């Protein structure tokens, strides 16, 4: 049994989102609480094949850690509480191509940056759609909806304004965040308690170099295959392509992408930008000449993309999110 599984089992008794006093310390980032998204086993796991494992990848330049979680079985939120909270919160979905969940470069490091600016951040791990969960491609959306509802339901415990709660996602996590943004009311699991009576609609959405489209012409091959299988139908493709889900009641969206992204083509963001504009959704886009894919915080240094956190915070301020 891995350390993360042992830890998650220890918090399953907590109903909903634990207060800081009730939560367990994270084994991965000292001084931060970790809480279970579901009050018991995650739904639809009777035939799941997932086996949770934390993998240490080689250190990146500068000696920074690069850990991933494979086979998530019990999704969690790791809480980054700012020294001087401003009432805003972000649910953060790291990437990983729907093959694993990146922990450091698209999770904890970005969370620390926003917490330093007063934003309370909840870094999410989520289950992967190809591992036998009954909901299939809706499995990550189940976790995202439940996570946002938990934060909103227990906002007072974390000094968060329930009406200033956004979502941010990176790469495949951008698809998770985008699905939450545009399918926040899709009925993907049966309600289990009073938490599920509150809205799962985020108040803003930030999509970082997102896997937005499932169109084979521009999709990230691995994410598309892991989410939908080898040869999905046109209807199935459309049901998980963000540009096909744009709706006028979506929250404001910010898109960030590098033009030299060779993993997730910038056309993912461009198509979504056009669809959101056509649906009259407030949207802002920042396209950097350089940055590549997966730049997060560490790999943006010295490149135009380095400006993205300040651009996001400025946009959040203009949207009234920072008080």
Give 216-248 pLDDT, tens digit per residue. Answer: 999 999 999 999 999 999 999 999 999 999 999
Percent of the chain with pLDDT over 70: 92
**Mean pLDDT value across residues 109-129:** 97
- Taking all residues of the chain, what is their mean pLDDT, rounded to a whole number? 91
pLDDT surpasses 60 at 1:
no
pLDDT-based confidence at residue 23 (cuts at 50, 70, 90): low
**Residue 244 belongs to a domain with what CATH number?**
3.40.50.1820
Of residues 265, 254, 260, 249, the one with CA closest to residue 319: 254
- Does any domain span residue 156? yes
Domain containing residue 247: 3-318
**What pLDDT score was predicted for residue 299?**
85
**What pLDDT score was predicted for residue 29?**
75
- Does any domain span residue 52? yes
pLDDT surpasses 90 at 16:
no
Lowest mean per-residue pLDDT among 63-77, 156-170, 231-245: 63-77
**Mean pLDDT value across residues 275-290:** 97
pLDDT surpasses 80 at 20:
no
pLDDT surpasses 50 at 11:
no
**What pLDDT score was predicted for residue 59?**
80
- Does any domain span residue 51? yes
pLDDT surpasses 60 at 165:
yes
pLDDT surpasses 70 at 151:
yes
pLDDT-based confidence at residue 75 (cuts at 50, 70, 90): very high
**What pLDDT score was predicted for residue 66?**
87
**Mean pLDDT value across residues 5-13:** 37
pLDDT-based confidence at residue 110 (cuts at 50, 70, 90): very high
Instruction: Report how many domains make up the chain.
Output: 1
Token couple for 238: 């459309």
- Does any domain span residue 65? yes
Neighbours of 56 (CB within 10 A): 10
- Does any domain span residue 323? no
Pairing outcome for strands 76-80 and 33-36:
antiparallel
**Mean pLDDT value across residues 5-24:** 41
**Mean pLDDT value across residues 102-106:** 93
**What pLDDT score was predicted for residue 277?**
98
Measuring CA to CA, how many Å separate 130 from each of 25, 138, 230?
Answer: 30, 10, 11
**Mean pLDDT value across residues 73-102:** 97
Residue bearing the bigger pLDDT, 59 or 277: 277
Question: Do residues 150 and 199 touch, judged by C-beta distance below 8 A?
Answer: no
**What pLDDT score was predicted for residue 24?**
67
Q: Report how far Cα 300 is from the mean position of its chain's Cα atoms.
A: 19
Question: Do residues 132 and 47 touch, judged by C-beta distance below 8 A?
Answer: yes
Question: Do residues 212 and 266 touch, judged by C-beta distance below 8 A?
Answer: no
Residue bearing the bigger pLDDT, 105 or 249: 249
**What pLDDT score was predicted for residue 37?**
97
């Amino acid at each position: 049994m891995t350390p993360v599984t042992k830890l998650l089992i220890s918090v399953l008794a907590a109903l909903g989102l634990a207060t800081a006093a009730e939560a367990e310390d994270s084994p991965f980032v000292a001084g931060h609480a970790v809480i279970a998204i579901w009050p018991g086993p995650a739904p639809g796991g009777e035939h799941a094949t997932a086996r949770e494992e934390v993998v240490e990848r080689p250190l990146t330049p500068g000696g920074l850690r690069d850990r991933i979680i494979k086979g998530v079985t019990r999704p969690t939120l790791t809480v980054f509480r700012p020294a001087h909270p401003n009432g805003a919160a972000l649910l953060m979905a790291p990437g990983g191509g729907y093959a694993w969940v990146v922990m450091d470069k698209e999770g904890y490091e970005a969370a620390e940056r926003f917490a330093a600016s007063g934003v309370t951040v909840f870094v999410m791990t989520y289950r992967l759609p190809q591992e036998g969960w009954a909901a299939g491609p809706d499995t990550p959306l189940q976790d995202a909806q439940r996570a946002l509802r938990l934060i909103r339901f227990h906002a007072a415990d974390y000094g968060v304004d329930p009406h200033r709660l956004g979502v941010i996602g990176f790469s495949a996590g951008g698809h998770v965040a985008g699905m939450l943004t545009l399918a926040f009311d899709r009925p993907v699991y049966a309600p289990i308690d009073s938490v599920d009576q509150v809205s799962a609609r985020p108040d803003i959405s930030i999509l970082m170099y997102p896997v937005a489209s499932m169109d084979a012409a521009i999709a990230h091959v691995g994410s598309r295959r892991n989410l939908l299988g080898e040869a999905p139908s046109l209807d199935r493709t459309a049901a998980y392509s963000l540009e096909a889900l744009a709706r006028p009641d979506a929250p404001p969206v910010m898109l960030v992408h590098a033009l030299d992204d060779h993993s997730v083509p910038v056309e993912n963001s461009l198509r979504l930008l056009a669809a959101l504009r056509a649906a009259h959704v407030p949207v802002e886009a920042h396209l950097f000449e350089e940055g590549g894919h997966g730049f997060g915080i560490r790999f943006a240094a010295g490149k135009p993309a380095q400006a993205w956190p300040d651009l996001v915070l400025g946009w959040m301020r203009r949207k009234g999110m920072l008080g």
